[in-house]
């Protein structure tokens, strides 16, 4: 029967490490913070304790070495010790009790140990000192009883002894328990202190994590409340300038923006439904009349029938224009100009204005439309830009009296369209670019109230702007500004000839 074990760093270890990491990431954030704090403190305490223990050991060992080196062994003691070792008899010298083990060492390794002490085998360093190859040696070894001893060996320079060797060394040794016992006590104290410190750090880390994550808990509760109830009116109190406060302010700004967007969306749907109801009602009425005429066999007079069909066609055109305007306003911007990158390019604004002027003259044959256009090139979507210009011109044509004049001028990227109509009351000017807003005096005229909203959106997405004001002497003046240049960039010298030339753009329905 054979057994196999996973190799170190093999698939088994990798799987266990992955499981441990997964469990760690499943812990709550405050638990992870407390755990990390405890680990960091434990690591710091362990390093400090280890450094303290090592320094203490070195100091105690150094102190013991100094003590051993100061022990004075006189020649009489050496003579008596050598006589005892050679003859086996006690000389007329009294050996005083001493905590140290004193022994003589010869170059061959023979040792002569003081009475009542365990012999310490000679080491290579001791033999080298006895042979004169070393001036001294200090080392740690064990005696024959297994006790760990610290030994200091120096050469003997006194008179001759009974030991037949011209070279001798004297070793003075003491038990290492003078060092190990205090070190063991210190290790126990450090272990207790470290354990208390780690537990305290873990407790403090958990408390700090709870206190520090209270704003995060409030933010989490708010997000869960929004996700559960769709209530975007909730706000989180923010204090200070730290990251949590910034996150809370950003969340408040986000919910406010979402609430405003939802409100605008609901308003757009409500306004669109209201605007769609009128042409649909008219269409239904006219179609019902035609259907009843066909079902009953009572023919409608030709003139009345033609008027009904003309009304149906007009209402269908109004519906198509309204739907087209809604599509333009609901299209999300995909880049800085609100259109796909392939549709945005450098176009000649003066050519677009010229094309729009031709349509305006067809729609207002009784008006005198003058134009003064300087070359100007902008980066925009041609179809959207022409729709915006057509909407401005259609507004001027719609509100100009019969036989009136519409003045169009393009200078340095500023397109001015001025009519001589009734103008707009000052209190209504701030609302002219709102969706579906129509002046009370203009509600009888055709239009959906989206034309100027499209103009404002197109100008903003192209980096420009638009504004309306009452012109001196009567009428309204619209100013559309577009960033650009009087000459096209070198890389697009043939802009008018490229596909999607401004003159080829489809008709822009829905002008107000």
Locate CATH 3.30.565.10 in the chain: 342-504
Residues 474 and 423 sit within 8 Å (Cβ to Cβ)? yes
Q: Which of 111-115, 152-156, 318-322, 423-427 has the highest mean pLDDT?
A: 152-156
> Alpha-carbon distance 11 to 74, whole Å?
68
Pairing of strands 368-373, 405-411: parallel
> Alpha-carbon distance 340 to 209, whole Å?
47
Among candidate residues 269, 271, 246, 102, the one with its CA nearest the CA of residue 174:
102
272 burial level (CB within 10 Å; 0-12, 13-18, 19+): buried
pLDDT for res 2: 46
Is 228 in a helix, a strand, or coil?
A: helix
- Assign domain 243-330 one CATH number from 3.30.70, 1.10.287, 1.10.357, 2.60.120: 1.10.287
Among candidate residues 374, 375, 387, the one with its CA nearest the CA of residue 347:
375
pLDDT for res 6: 46
pLDDT higher at 305 or 469: 469
| Phi-psi group of 115: left, alpha or beta (phi > 0 → left; psi -120 to 50 → alpha; rest → beta) | beta
Residues 322 and 279 sit within 8 Å (Cβ to Cβ)? yes
pLDDT for res 228: 84
Q: Helix count (H) and strand count (E) of the chain?
A: 11, 13
pLDDT for res 458: 81
pLDDT at position 89 over 70: no
Question: What are the CA-CA distances from residue 348 to residues 71, 352, 397 (Å)?
Answer: 107, 7, 23
The mean pLDDT value of the chain amounts to 77
Locate CATH 1.10.287 in the chain: 243-330
> Tokens 């209201």 sit at which residue?
274
pLDDT, one tens digit per residue, over 252-272 is 888 888 888 777 677 667 656
Q: Which helix (H) or strand (E) holds 279?
A: helix 243-296
pLDDT for res 415: 92
| Phi-psi group of 465: left, alpha or beta (phi > 0 → left; psi -120 to 50 → alpha; rest → beta) | beta
CB atoms within 10 A of CB 319: 18
Compute φ and ψ for 93, nearest 5 degrees: -130, 130
> What architecture is the 342-504 domain classified under in CATH?
2-Layer Sandwich (3.30)
pLDDT, one tens digit per residue, over 433-475 is 776 656 555 554 555 566 777 788 888 888 888 888 888 888 8
343 burial level (CB within 10 Å; 0-12, 13-18, 19+): middle
Quick one: how far is CA 380 from the chain centroid? 33
| Phi-psi group of 461: left, alpha or beta (phi > 0 → left; psi -120 to 50 → alpha; rest → beta) | alpha
């Amino acid at each position: 029967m054979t057994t196999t074990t996973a190799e170190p760093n093999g698939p088994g270890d990798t799987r266990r490490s992955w499981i441990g990491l997964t469990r760690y990431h499943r812990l709550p954030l405050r638990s992870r913070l407390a755990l990390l704090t405890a680990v960091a403190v434990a690591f710091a305490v362990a390093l400090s304790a280890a450094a303290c223990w090592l320094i203490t050991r070195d100091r105690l060992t150094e102190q013991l070495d100094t003590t051993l080196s100061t022990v004075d062994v006189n020649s009489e003691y050496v003579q008596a010790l050598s006589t005892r070792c050679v003859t086996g008899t006690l000389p007329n010298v009294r050996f005083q009790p001493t905590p140290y083990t004193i022994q003589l060492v010869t170059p061959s390794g023979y040792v002569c140990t003081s009475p009542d002490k365990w012999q310490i085998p000679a080491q290579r360093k001791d033999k080298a000192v006895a042979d004169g190859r070393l001036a001294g040696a200090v080392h740690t070894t064990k005696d024959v009883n297994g006790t760990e001893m610290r030994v200091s060996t120096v050469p003997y320079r006194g008179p001759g002894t009974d030991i037949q060797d011209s070279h001798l060394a004297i070793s003075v040794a003491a038990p290492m328990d003078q060092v190990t016992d205090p070190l063991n006590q210190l290790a126990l104290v450090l272990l207790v202190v470290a354990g208390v410190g780690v537990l305290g750090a873990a407790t403090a880390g958990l408390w700090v994590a709870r206190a520090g994550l209270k704003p995060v808990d409030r933010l989490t509760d708010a997000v869960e409340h929004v996700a559960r109830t769709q209530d975007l009116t909730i706000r989180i109190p923010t204090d200070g300038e730290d990251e949590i406060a910034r996150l809370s302010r950003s969340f408040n700004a986000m919910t406010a923006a979402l609430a405003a967007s939802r409100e605008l969306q609901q308003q757009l749907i409500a306004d669109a439904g209201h605007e769609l109801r009128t042409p649909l009602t008219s269409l239904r009425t006219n179609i019902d009349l035609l259907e009843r005429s066909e079902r009953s066999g009572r023919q409608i007079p030709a003139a009345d029938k033609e008027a009904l069909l003309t009304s149906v066609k007009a209402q269908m055109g109004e519906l198509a224009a309204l739907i087209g305007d809604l599509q333009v306003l609901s299209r999300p911007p995909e880049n800085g100009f609100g259109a796909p990158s392939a549709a945005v390019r450098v176009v000649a604004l003066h050519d677009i204005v010229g094309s729009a002027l031709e349509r305006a003259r067809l729609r207002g044959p009784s008006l005198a439309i003058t134009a003064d256009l300087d070359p100007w090139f902008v980066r925009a979507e041609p179809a959207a830009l022409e729709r915006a210009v057509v909407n401005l011109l259609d507004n001027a044509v719609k509100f100009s009296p019969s036989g009136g004049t519409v003045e169009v001028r393009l200078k340095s990227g500023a397109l001015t369209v001025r009519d001589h109509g009734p103008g707009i009351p000052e209190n209504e000017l701030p609302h002219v670019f709102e969706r579906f807003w129509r002046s009370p005096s203009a509600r009888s005229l055709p239009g959906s109230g989206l034309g100027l909203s499209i103009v404002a959106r197109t100008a903003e997405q192209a980096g420009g702007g638009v504004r309306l004001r009452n012109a001196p002497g009567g009428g309204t003046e619209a100013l559309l500004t577009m960033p650009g240049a009087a000459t096209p960039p070198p890389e697009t010298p043939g802009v008018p000839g490229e596909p999607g030339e401004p003159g080829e753009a489809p008709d822009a329905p829905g002008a107000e």
